[in-house]
Chain A
Amino acid sequence: MDEAEREARRKRREEWAAGTLARQTAVMDDLAARAASPLMWAAVRRQARSYLRHLATWQRAKGYSGIDALMDAQMSRLQEWEAQADAHLAAAGEGERRDAESRLGLRLAVMGKGGAGKTVISSTLSRLLARRGRNVLVADLDVNPGLVYSIGLGAADVSIPVEALEENEGAAYGWQLREGLLPREVVERHTVPGPDGVRVTGLGKIGEVDKSSAKRTVVAAVQVLLGFGEPEWDVIADLEAGPTTPFERYHAFSDDVIVVVGPAWRSAMTARRLLPMVGEGRSTTIVANRFRDEPDHPGLAPHVRIPFDAEVAEAERRGLSPLDECPHSPTIKAIEQVVDLFISQSRLDMEVRV
């Protein structure tokens, strides 16, 4: 690649990034226009903070230095929204504010080594949250097939459909979310209904050397998760095995991260490598999976332990949902504990962590 070509490419990427800032504004305007309650103002504040956190990573990475002034201006606008939301929440009073914040849904990403159990945990957790009356969006952020089986959708295609996408030369894989489509509209119109009312979405899958159907969904999926600000929705993402997608910040939307660790030494090594990838003050919860009587890994004391479970292994062998096949198994009981851990945690904690 010669210098002129590199320069042209940089320009296209910066144009894409500038467009992304405009899309952030559209999301904020949409939320703020509906903000007639402390709950919606809490949503406005969280969305502004989420975008601010993301923009800070862009500024650190210096990938878009040609639009520094635009990014600074965007950060000021987001801080204004945040301040506006603060003022509304303060005016509502302490009790109302706490109530609003406690009703904000989870923003949770699940990471770990391959085979650790990320997918069984993500899909079961999503369904259990839905059974407690919550709205849940679960995203399969892996270009290899998996989550559909564990959630009970068989071999369904849940990828963001092409009508919700558009080509863009500056976007990382040449495609992004279609212009004019808000992330919440994607969730309403272009996600797949799963068991227990969970909405399911995800990346396209690699099935051949030409991996364009997988690649074109990547940027859009990140845009949807990062810009889905609806307050009373839990959003859970199941990341691809290992450190590659955390490196690429597929978990940019998240406030909390679960790192799943198995009994193998290399599973612990992977978890230790993942911890510094979590980043930006997110909370990290360690879930130990498939332990028999092995000791905990040093430095990775689990918050929840899921025991080895032959019934779950059998459901996985058959490509079925463990929650349907063995609802009373120890695994499901342990994942209920994960649910309790997250929904009992005061959302006020987020102020410190984010």
Chain B
Amino acid sequence: MRIAICGKGGSGKSMISGALARSLARRGHTVVAVDADPNPNLGISLGVPRETVETMKPILNALLDAGHTHNDPKPLAEDLLDHYGVDAPDGIRLVATGKIERPSDACLCCGSHNTTRQFFGELADDDRVVVADLEAGLNDLIWAKPGANDVVLAVSEGSEKSVEIARRAVVVAGELGVTRIIGVANRAVSADDAARVADQLGTAEFFTVPEDPAVEHADQLGVAPMDADPASPAMVAVSELADLIVKQ
């Protein structure tokens, strides 16, 4: 199974990706966590030490450093996972696709976005779960190109801007042929708040993660909410979300 998590910047994609990956791993699934953000930071939410998150080499950067060019044979996703992944808690393997380190005159089409597509596309999904935390916004969803057998989470917090981007993500995922699109209201302050998001997203499956000071506190420290307080309301909710996703 492959799960792509998308939404506006700051909506809580990484928090949900990290906690979801941990929950699934604790249920015995083999989990690969893919950080597709050119500003990689998923490791924080997974419980990888901050220093490792800051220094880990994403695939694209590692290949460029090794002098790889587009004329060389394409490395296999499995090999990349072995070589450039890092271990995260609960047996999760974390890999980042690319990181932007300095300005350039180029675009990313041949870089991080394409690496994401190739990587997300090639990781076999039969006996493990791939959790991909996408770059903020809609562009990376189109690049990652999830399909009929994949799950897309459209994450939104309560602001109109965030809901509008998640709503568009639902449309885009539908056009890509994704049949299982789950709307997620994150940081919901009330049932009304969540109901408004659910109404605007209009997905068949919908899930609510409540606002949670424990998550905010963990974020501020740069540690995983799942380690800081696994019994906090948001962490309990994401564990239930994990159950919902794998129950079929």
Set of chain A residues within 8 Å of B193, measured between Cβ atoms: 317
* Pairwise interchain contact A317-B159, C-beta atoms closer than 8 A: yes
Name which of B60-68, B121-129, B169-177, B234-242 contacts chain A.
Answer: B169-177
Set of chain A residues within 8 Å of B54, measured between Cβ atoms: 269
B220 at the interface (CB under 8 A from A): yes
Set of chain A residues within 8 Å of B222, measured between Cβ atoms: 264-266, 269
> Bound complex: CA of A297 vs CA of B168, how far in Å?
34
If A244-B135, A265-B219, A269-B41 touch, whether A115 touches B175 (CB-CB below 8 Å) is no
Set of chain B residues within 8 Å of A155, measured between Cβ atoms: 164
B160 at the interface (CB under 8 A from A): yes
* Pairwise interchain contact A273-B176, C-beta atoms closer than 8 A: no
* Pairwise interchain contact A248-B107, C-beta atoms closer than 8 A: yes
Name which of A30-38, A137-145, A229-237, A335-343 contacts chain B.
Answer: A137-145
* Pairwise interchain contact A263-B103, C-beta atoms closer than 8 A: no
Set of chain B residues within 8 Å of A172, measured between Cβ atoms: 107
Set of chain A residues within 8 Å of B8, measured between Cβ atoms: 114-115, 144, 146, 241
> Bound complex: CA of A182 vs CA of B138, how far in Å?
31
* Pairwise interchain contact A207-B50, C-beta atoms closer than 8 A: no
Contact residues, B36-83 vs A (CB, 8 A): 37-39, 41, 44, 50, 53-54
Give the Cβ gap from A151 to chain B, nearest Cβ, in Å: 12
* Pairwise interchain contact A144-B105, C-beta atoms closer than 8 A: no
Name which of B9-17, B84-92, B201-209 contacts chain A.
Answer: B9-17
B231 at the interface (CB under 8 A from A): no
Give the Cβ gap from B7 to chain A, nearest Cβ, in Å: 9
Set of chain A residues within 8 Å of B38, measured between Cβ atoms: 242-244, 247
* Pairwise interchain contact A241-B137, C-beta atoms closer than 8 A: yes
Give the Cβ gap from B188 to chain A, nearest Cβ, in Å: 11
B102 at the interface (CB under 8 A from A): yes
Set of chain A residues within 8 Å of B160, measured between Cβ atoms: 149, 316-320
> Bound complex: CA of A262 vs CA of B144, how far in Å?
28
* Pairwise interchain contact B220-A265, C-beta atoms closer than 8 A: yes
Closest to A205 in B: B168
* Pairwise interchain contact B161-A149, C-beta atoms closer than 8 A: yes
B158 at the interface (CB under 8 A from A): yes
* Pairwise interchain contact A58-B105, C-beta atoms closer than 8 A: yes
Set of chain A residues within 8 Å of B171, measured between Cβ atoms: 207-208
A330 at the interface (CB under 8 A from B): no
* Pairwise interchain contact A319-B161, C-beta atoms closer than 8 A: yes
A150 at the interface (CB under 8 A from B): yes
Set of chain B residues within 8 Å of A319, measured between Cβ atoms: 159-161, 164
Q: Which 7 A-B pairs have the closest CB atoms?
A: A114-B9, A115-B10, A319-B160, A265-B222, A241-B9, A61-B105, A114-B136
List residues of chain A with CB under 8 Å of any chain B CB: 57-58, 61, 63, 113-116, 119, 142-146, 149-150, 155, 172, 205-209, 211, 240-244, 246-249, 262-266, 269-270, 273, 276-277, 279, 294, 313, 316-320
Known pairs A145-B168, A150-B161 / 4 extra A-B pairs, C-beta < 8 Å: A242-B37, A246-B103, A273-B101, A277-B100
23 A–B pairs (Cβ distance < 8 Å), ordered by A: A58-B105, A61-B104, A119-B161, A144-B136, A145-B161, A145-B164, A155-B164, A206-B142, A209-B142, A242-B9, A242-B38, A242-B136, A243-B38, A243-B100, A249-B104, A265-B50, A265-B219, A266-B44, A276-B101, A317-B158, A318-B160, A319-B159, A320-B160
